[in-house]
Copies of this chain bind each other. A is one copy, B any other.
Amino acid sequence: MLYLEDLRVGQRYETAEYQMNEAEIKTFAAQYDPQSFHLDAEAAKGSFFGELVASGWHVAAVSMRLCVQSGPKFAAGIVGLGGELKWRKPTLPGDTLRVVCEIVEIQESRTNPARGTVTLLNETRNQRDDVVQTFRCALFVPKKDVNAS
């Protein structure tokens, strides 16, 4: 379990990998992003992308799962406030994703002595090491000397 005192700017973590498949891309899209270029390979040929691509929100959700399951284990879990999310390249069926997380900022809270805010730069990379998504996100992280007994 990582508390605020355990963290340093520049620390890096890398998650396990996950391979995206066409069935899951379509299932996610049908439920949360029902646009033709996420649902139908034939229709996607005439779209901006020219081929079937995963919803950006699906890439974000898979990135979150990778971080929860094999990323840094923060005390209190991953409690995100949000941040700058960018989709840099499409994700295709068969692509294998992983997340590289780097701590870029650590701030003590001015109002709550029990916690601080940690900013991570999470890069979701594919099997060619292309960055397909970046998420610079702020998390609440508890302080050990206040919370641990």
Contacts and interface: CB of A to CB of B under 8 A. Distances in A.
Contact of A86 (B49, B62, B76, B82): B82
A56 B81 CA distance: 9
B68 A61 contact: no
Contacts of A60: 57, 60
A118 B34 CA distance: 21
B48 A33 contact: no
A68 B38 CA distance: 12
A contact patch SS: mixed
Contacts of A35: 68, 77-78
Interface string A60-92: 111011001100000011111111111100000
Contacts of A34: 65, 68-69
A57 B61 contact: yes
Nearest to A76: B48
A35 B79 CA distance: 10
Interface in A108-137: 133
Nearest to A55: B64
B33 A56 contact: no
A86 B81 contact: yes
A32 interface: yes
Given A57-B57, A140-B48, A32 B80 contact: no
Contacts of A11: none
